[in-house]
A and B are shown apart, each in its own frame.
Chain A
Amino acid sequence: MTDAHAPRPFSESSPLLKWLAAVVVIAYATVSILPMLWIGATAFKSQSDAIAYPPKVLFTPTLEGFVDLFTVQTRQPHDFIAKLPPPSSWYEKLARDRDMVIAGPSRVVERFLNSLIIGFGSTILATFLGTLAAYGFSRFKVPLADDLLFFILSTRMMPPIAVAVPIYMMYRYLDLYDTRIGMILLYTAVNVSLAVWLLKGFIDEIPREYEEAALIDGYTRLQAFRKVVLPQAVTGIAATAIFCLIFSWNEYAFDLLLSNAQAQTMPPFIPFIIGEGGQNWPAVAAGTTLFLVPIVIFTIALRKHLLRGITFGAVRK
């Protein structure tokens, strides 16, 4: 409100109340974001700064944590390093300054790759299946539709650990244990319930009249679905896909129990980023930061659809 003398509508609060609300909310937001900022800052600390007492707020940023995260290093005597040819890259130099020699890349790259492949694979599959099923439920009379939809939702209520035992045995039997394809199928099954419910909500909102007009113009059902419904549902499909991607990216329990060396993703791996001589906090923080940044970006992109996503479409406004 710019004009202080204008009569204020009933829904507007008094300026003092607004000011107080702003102070409390901003204070809460600041405190709640601090842990994440601290991790982000730790990623750029040197190892000694990361374990300094009292905890350091101001420090000289360094990329040591990221170098440690992506490489395997061995400690060498100082005079041995002095005899080596000069470092060929900035990251080798960073390691050599601490009497370390880079022996090769670490496993983090594989884990990130697994997270990406499993995340995108299951997202594409779940969104594809979910779009088809949601269209079916939204536009046609399906026998026992309510029961089937409730069944789809209820699969999400199952504690992951509770079904992990038989899935583990089934995967062992089918040679799907510790494979990317096995994890993709599993995450698809978990995500598809969310996808069906969210997309049904989005497709319900598209007026039927468009499709009916297309059918009268001689389109078949499938053509109408492809050329009329899908283009209208693009926003909803994209939002759903991002929710599925975030779930697969974040998932821990199934991957911990059903993968080992081949199909491990980042979440079970991050706690095992351990440097020489105790936990290498900058490296852990660097891995965590790289892992969390995409989620923060997606959350900001999704903020208009968040409410729908977290309630399976039950709350839409």
Chain B
Amino acid sequence: MIGIENTSALANRAANKAALRRTRRVTGLSDRAIVWLFIAPTMLLLLAINIFPLIWAIRLSFTGLMANLPNPARFIGIDNYTDILTDEDVWEHFQATAHFVFSTIALQVLIGLGLALLINQKFRGHSFWTTVILLPMMLSPAVVGNFWTLLFQPQIGPFNYFIGFFTGAAPSSFTMIGSVDLAPWTIVMVNTWMWTPYVMLICLAGLRSIPDYIYEAAEVDRASALRQFWSITLPMVTPFLMLAVLFQAIQSFEMFDMVNLLTSGGPGSTTELVSITLKRAAFEKWETGYASALAVILFVTVFGAANVYVKVLNKVKQQ
């Protein structure tokens, strides 16, 4: 069940209980002291390792600092931002990222929802096969990217051999990683292989949350199977599906590790997603100020888009 909204209700309940208790003689630490003692360490850690660096990045983004040089940071205003937003290469990387995000999510939703509907038929042994299907999403994306390079080897790799076996094409006539046309789809394919189970698992939870009596009522009304799918199953699963899409959209927009090891942005810059551009600017060209500005743009994009999306999601859930 989706339980994000319950927090304030629970907090109110806790408040009432706490007020009751305060009338008794309290032994040991007061409740207020316990709250701060328990929550403060987590907050301090997050402030030190997340918020402080973020604020520092915002400050650096207005400078021309290069972290590998001893020169002090020089304030250059919004030059970094105008450089990035007018750079056609950067736009190309954003386009490559958009292609990656939209294609992989479309495939994940189609295959994931399809699999969830099939598994929900509860055939014998379905829970074993569900666990098998789930395995890829728990693996390390970096290690996945690395081992797919072996599977995609044109001569010795099994992937080309299997494709060749079924299509009759010579296995060495195409390279999944080295070809400008195929590489953008290669990263989509590997990401889809890895994360379809995620969408599937969440859809399955959605399907299982639909009470039987709704279908029973539909059956009494002689609604066709297709009709039941469109007016019961799909609307009930949509909030779950949207949640899965949110998590996956953020994740694939920030994709770095798998692609960095599979294609490292190549050939040329056909699979250079913005995270890879950012890493190159920050840790290869050492343009710290420029990279910070790009980081801020990325962060604002993710955060802004996620906020709008959550508003839509809450509207859908209310219906």
Binding site for B on A (CB under 8 A): 9-13, 17-19, 21-22, 24-26, 28-29, 32-36, 38-39, 42, 50-55, 129-130, 132-133, 135-142, 145-146, 148-149, 151-152, 154-155, 157-170, 185-186, 188-189, 192-193, 196, 201, 204, 208, 212, 215, 218, 220-223, 246, 249-253, 257, 266-268, 270-271, 281, 284-285, 288, 291-292, 295-296, 298-300, 303, 306-307, 310-311, 313-317
List chain A residues, Cβ under 8 A from B111: 28
A54 touches B161 (CB 8 A): yes
A161 touches B295 (CB 8 A): yes
The answer to the question of B8 belonging to the interface, with a C-beta cut-off of 8 Å to chain A, is yes
List chain A residues, Cβ under 8 A from B39: 132-133, 136-137, 142, 148
B119 touches A163 (CB 8 A): no
Within 8 A of A (CB), among B24-61: 27-29, 31, 34-35, 37-39, 41-43, 45-46, 48-54, 56-57, 60
Q: Which of B8, B17, B150, B261 contacts A145 (CB 8 A)?
A: B8
The answer to the question of B100 belonging to the interface, with a C-beta cut-off of 8 Å to chain A, is no
B156 touches A53 (CB 8 A): yes
List chain B residues, Cβ under 8 A from A253: 256-257, 279
Considering the complex, give the chain B residue whose CB is closest to the CB of A296: B135
A288 touches B148 (CB 8 A): no
B156 touches A55 (CB 8 A): yes
List chain A residues, Cβ under 8 A from B291: 165
Nearest CB in chain A: distance from B297 CB, A:
9
14 A–B pairs (Cβ distance < 8 Å), ordered by A: A22-B126, A32-B196, A33-B132, A129-B42, A129-B45, A137-B7, A141-B15, A142-B35, A158-B302, A161-B275, A223-B28, A292-B139, A315-B243, A317-B209
Can you list, as one digit per residue, whether each of B250-261 has a CB less than 8 Å from chain A (1) or not (0)?
100110110001
Q: Is the interface of B mostly helix, strand, loop or mixed?
A: helix
Within 8 A of A (CB), among B108-140: 111, 115, 118-119, 121-126, 129, 131-140
The answer to the question of B187 belonging to the interface, with a C-beta cut-off of 8 Å to chain A, is no
- Known A10-B219, A196-B42; judge A165-B10 contact (CB<8 A): no
- Known A10-B212, A212-B17; judge A159-B298 contact (CB<8 A): yes
Q: Which of B41, B67, B143 contacts A132 (CB 8 A)?
A: B41
List chain B residues, Cβ under 8 A from A36: 135-136, 139
List chain A residues, Cβ under 8 A from B136: 32, 36
The answer to the question of B247 belonging to the interface, with a C-beta cut-off of 8 Å to chain A, is yes
The answer to the question of B238 belonging to the interface, with a C-beta cut-off of 8 Å to chain A, is no
- Residues of B in contact with A, size category: 35 or more
The answer to the question of B312 belonging to the interface, with a C-beta cut-off of 8 Å to chain A, is no
Nearest first, the 6 A-B pairs at minimum CB distance are A220-B28, A252-B142, A250-B140, A162-B295, A166-B53, A189-B49
The answer to the question of B102 belonging to the interface, with a C-beta cut-off of 8 Å to chain A, is no
Q: Which of A151, A152, A314 contacts B2 (CB 8 A)?
A: A314
List chain B residues, Cβ under 8 A from A21: 118-119, 121, 123
- Known A288-B143, A298-B138; judge A167-B49 contact (CB<8 A): yes
List chain A residues, Cβ under 8 A from B216: 10
B299 touches A162 (CB 8 A): yes
A163 to B230, CA, bound (A): 44
List chain B residues, Cβ under 8 A from A311: 202, 243, 247
B34 touches A222 (CB 8 A): yes
Considering the complex, give the chain B residue whose CB is closest to the CB of A33: B132
List chain A residues, Cβ under 8 A from B288: 165, 169
Given contact pairs A162-B295, A271-B142, enumerate 11 new A-B contacts (beta carbons under 8 Å).
A32-B136, A133-B38, A136-B39, A162-B278, A165-B292, A189-B46, A250-B140, A267-B143, A268-B142, A281-B156, A310-B202
Considering the complex, give the chain B residue whose CB is closest to the CB of A1: B124
Considering the complex, give the chain A residue whose CB is closest to the CB of B32: A140
B129 touches A270 (CB 8 A): no
Considering the complex, give the chain A residue whose CB is closest to the CB of B218: A10
- Known A253-B256, A316-B1; judge A303-B131 contact (CB<8 A): yes
Considering the complex, give the chain A residue whose CB is closest to the CB of B190: A35
